[in-house]
Structure 1
């Protein structure tokens, strides 16, 4: 059941589940790391921005080459939606994992919660997009 058509770059329920599983697979081991919690609290804002840009850059390049075979010009809305969903799902999965570990202090320290989420989302987003692309090649 595809949400946007029938080409390999289209998004369906299986793809959403693959994004969730891929993000979860790398979010769990990193989320258990005290170093990741501490890094989220102490990393300078400029470096945190670089982490986000690296995450989005990897997602962009990998999705363009693996899911869209380098042909994104005619499918730019689908490509952008894929990137937004991949990163958004990753952020939600990482937040839930950190919440389950009582390491996501959204109500008491929202800045730390966001920063930890962004740090752990770097590897988790890679896992999400790689697992999503496995059956496309």
Structure 2
């Protein structure tokens, strides 16, 4: 399995995630939406995030050629999403809106909600340097 992922790729994902998470993380609406959204809807948000990352990576990063690189494809999607979650968490920590110790469910819901658009920014910027 030939897996090409380096610091430049990680940096692109982090920059893309940061670029789209910051404006949304500053929105009080997103904080409240995360409080009121049921867990079923949050699961749908995660599935949509992963589906759109996968679709974009398939079309753009891998140029529809994943037959012999299926594991690499899914690994890249997962890495992009995990890095996005980390970036969103750090942004929310900086804004004092990530109450992981006091209200962990709320912190996770805020992270997942804001990660939806941020993950798209992450994979789009990652695609600037083709696989």
**CA deviation after TM superposition for structure 1 residue 136, in Å:** 2.1
Q: Kindly report the root-mean-square deviation, in angstroms, between the aligned alpha carbons of the 2 structures.
A: 1.2
Q: TM-score scaled to structure 1, two decimals?
A: 0.91
Q: Counterpart in 1 of 2:53?
A: 59
Q: Counterpart in 2 of 1:77?
A: 71
Q: Secondary structure at the match of 2:53?
A: helix
**CA deviation after TM superposition for structure 1 residue 135, in Å:** 2.8
Aligned equivalents of 1:20, 1:105: Cα separation in 2: 22
Structure 1: gaps spanning 5 or more residues:
none
Instruction: Report 1 or 2 for greater relative contact order, CA contacts < 8 Å, sequence distance ≥ 6.
Output: 2
Q: TM-score scaled to structure 2, two decimals?
A: 0.95
Contact 2:16/2:124, CA 8 A, preserved across alignment: yes
Cα distance per residue 1:39-74 (max 9 Å; x no partner) = 111101111111111100000000011111111120
Give aligned pairs, total: 130
Q: Counterpart in 2 of 1:97?
A: 91
Aligned equivalents of 1:73, 1:45: Cα separation in 2: 34
